[in-house]
Amino acid sequence: MKLDDADRRCIETYLRGIADTEEAQRMKGFIQHGHITTYSHVMNVVGMSYLLNRALHLHADKKCLVRGAFLHDYYLYDWHDRSVHAKLHGFRHPLTALANARKRYALSSKEENIIESHMWPLTLTHIPRCREAVLVCLADKLCALHETVFRDRDMFR
């Protein structure tokens, strides 16, 4: 299953004013998994979430799904630099991403839940409470596995 041109246009519309900002573009300079940038990773999660929603006929709110998927790792630092950032990045970065996103964008409650719960079950107390958050949580893990094992930058481009 692949994203078609209509899917890509829809995603681009929802990400206008978010993915093209200076802050978001900084994610292209941070490595996420292996040699995959954070920007490529979040775009992969956007695509995977979108496709899972369609394949599973979940009828999730596409705008919230796409925006939340893009912002789920909006922590804006190099987590590999242990001299600057704590060792517990996996546990802490969802709340950092949420704080950064809140400063820059008006977020819906679904988008906030997507961002704060995407590392569940690692972050036990931050549970996905909507179908959009469940989709992004699942897509994040699938993309991380694919990016790590297959070292694929752009899964949906």
18 residue type, one letter = I
Full DSSP string of 72-141: TTTT-S-TT-TTTS-TTHHHHHHHHHHHHHHHHS---HHHHHHHHHTTTTTSTTS---SHHHHHHHHHHH
pLDDT of residue 35: 82
CB atoms within 10 A of CB 89: 15
pLDDT of residue 39: 96
Contact predicate 154/43, CB 8 Å: yes
What domains does the chain contain, in order, with CATH numbers? 5-150 (1.10.3210.10)
Q: List the structure tokens of 76.
A: 């804006």
What's the CA gap between 12 and 31, in Å, rounded? 23
In a structure prediction context, what are the per-residue pLDDT tens digits for the chain, which is 157 residues long?
A: 789 999 999 999 999 999 999 999 999 998 887 788 999 999 999 999 999 999 999 999 999 999 999 999 998 666 556 655 656 655 578 888 999 999 999 999 999 999 999 988 877 788 999 999 999 999 999 999 989 888 766 666 5
How many secondary structure helices (H) and strands (E) does the chain include? 7, 2
For strands 36-37 and 31-33, give the pairing. Answer: antiparallel
Full DSSP string of 7-74: HHHHHHHHHTTTTTSHHHHHGGGSEEETTEEHHHHHHHHHHHHHHHHHHTT----HHHHHHHHHHTTT
Radius of gyration of the chain (CA): 14
pLDDT of residue 46: 98
Residue 121, preceding bond cis, omega within 30 degrees? yes
Please state whether the predicted TM-score (pTM) of the whole model is above 0.85: yes
